[in-house]
Structure 1
Amino acid sequence: MSAVDEAVPSAAGLARVLDADGALLYAIDGQDLGIADIWPANAAAGSLRLQVGFGVTGLVARTRKPILIEADSPRNALHRQLLRLEPQETVARMCLPLTGLEDRVVGVLAVHRSPRRPFGPADLETAQSYVPLLGLHLHAEQLWRAVNQHRTERDRLMKQAIHAQEAERRRIAFDLHDGVTTALASMSFHLSAADLTVSELASRDEADAAARVRKLEHARAELVSARELADMAYNQTRAAISGLHSLVLDDLGLVAALESLVQTAGRAGGPAVDLVVDPAASVEDIPDHAAAALYRIAQEALANAVKHAEAARIVLSLRRVGDSVVLGCADDGKGFDPAERRTARVTGADGGQHFGLSSIAERCAIVEASLRLESAPGRGTTLLVELPL
């Protein structure tokens, strides 16, 4: 390898050693070959993709056998540009498979020169002396990139999971603060007023019977108000607990949990909320974690539509498309510009914070589901989540 400057030969070094006009190092990515190194350099090299099994280079990658061609004329226009071929011009080529660990084909070495000097057995023998090192080096680079990609993806998903958890905690805190805490404070006020009235009756000799009746009626009214507030606090606490975990989902499955969700969302004089489940859709094989994710996404989507869409009707849907489950939430409300709603939190006109589309996007990312949103001002909103199983 003394003829090559680098410890691992580059495309330029290989071209010099093999007396070639140019060299290309291809790396396999799935079913395609992409250029990992090229000489002479060309800015368009990164755009060339050759399919494994097709063409000379793809055939070498598939068959694992080197090929020598005295006069080749590639059809791919970009490939011809990289080989610097004029129209109707041919080129002599030599292509060898590159193998990495466990004898796995990881790429192809391709060199070329004028057809007046075709490659022969001696050139092939020289090139094969570099193939093992080239293959191991290329495989090591691929493994290193894969490790970095997995690490980056893991870190991203961990951050999104933490953000989703914190958003859920904040939502529950706001629900408890705005609902339960306010109800309990009001109930305490009414109970204090009732206690004061009863204490006055007990400590004073009230001669006027009518006045005593009025005071008793006032105390009773305060107690009735306190009872109503206690019921409200109880119901809101149950709703908050349901928001933390769905027992229906555990006991009866995803469809029953969505039905319960729709029934709850459709109460209190709000928009009509319907659930449409494809009769042909089979959801029994949905894993527990996937069902939980879809339930939470549906919960968030319905809450957003009920609070912000100003819709007359909301439709939640569930269907199967091939090996995927598709959850939909559509409304006929005021709609919005999606480009303006890409932040994790949107501050409303009242100063409150609403957790919306970004938390749904984070949940989708965690379970590797795709999210599509279609909306426009005055034309309603449709949200579709596709989860591959």
Structure 2
Amino acid sequence: MPAEQVSRETKAGRIEGEYDPKFKEVYEAFVENFESRDEVGANVSITLEGRTVVDLWGGRKAREGDAWTRDTVSIVFSCTKGAAAICAHMLADRGLLDLDAPVAKYWPEFAQNGKEEATVSMLLDHSVGVPHLRETLKDGAYYDYDHMVDLIAREKAFWQPGTRNGYHGVTFAWTVGEIVHRAAGKRLGAFFRDEVAGPLGLDFWIGLPEEIEPRVAPMIYAVPDPSAPPSKFTQAVMSDPKSIASLFLLNNGGANFNSRECHAAEIGSANGISNGRGLAGIYAPLANGGGKLVSADTLARMGRVAMATHEDATLLIPTRFALGFMKSMDNRKVPNAPSSSVILSDAAFGHVGMGGSIGFADPEARMSFGYNMNRMGMGILLNERGQALVDAAYRSLGYRSNASGVWTV
């Protein structure tokens, strides 16, 4: 059947694009996000067996701003980690990076202060023990790559590497980023541009060129509900300035993620700039056997759970990670933890971004999915807007239920 063409007004502005009629429910969920879930601007894109079956965009770049157009992009925060992890696995597939080797083989300076026995895979699964930095960061520290790499190398491990995990929410940029740099001989942003985004023809940057800046929709930060009971993460941030949660959230050197300076920097955990199309695009080869990115054996390793815990040392919720990617995490029954789940199929792997963006591959369904937006939601993982789109995608493919914590047929 021919694709359905879309052009309709909503409360937030015009929605445009197209979708395969099989995925009408995704279109309906996208519209509903604008009509009743306070979406401002967004793009959702889905590929199936390598073919784009959904590409919808719309709303505004700001609440009273210009229209969100097809080429609008935004910061996708931790979805960047998935892009960085793809680069590491590509190097492993080429024999340039051994994921089971000591980090010291590639980065000798890292092997100090309790990190001597750390392996490369521990950098990827958030168990290496450097979830943040204790030292108060200087102004603009996140924008100074070499400075952050030096701090990470010297940091004392928060725990013996490999013995537990805690989300390396920002430091992943300089742990995984630097191991890619050492193995590839070029920095992460350049490797990703030259080997992934460029060859695939995607709008996705880790270090944004200045000429793209006018296309960026600034993020609209979430406003906490003072009446909502605080999560364990929020309680830790508020009550203990030395906690990992507080350091992660507040010790950031005054980083402004809406600034040109931040967009131009290389923060391979948090400042990737793309859209739903770019997020679905980086995962499309991985949903279809690996494509030109990785072999079938490497792809199998990418999607396998590598680390899981009942309480992540940073996020203070149960988490499940593959090597550099999130797996389905069902925390719907965890007390006072709203928007702290991401429900996918058991085969899927990818990454969410702060505020609710997401990109992932599902090799069994042969589907890739990407969603970005500019109004950030509360919570740690997906909020109702992104999850509604994911749910609609799985139902469109005939999946029956996610009551088990993963989508099943």
- TM-score, normalising length: structure 2: 0.19
Of Structure 1 and Structure 2, the greater strand share is in 1
Choose 1 or 2 for highest CA Rg.
1
Of Structure 1 and Structure 2, the greater helix share is in 1
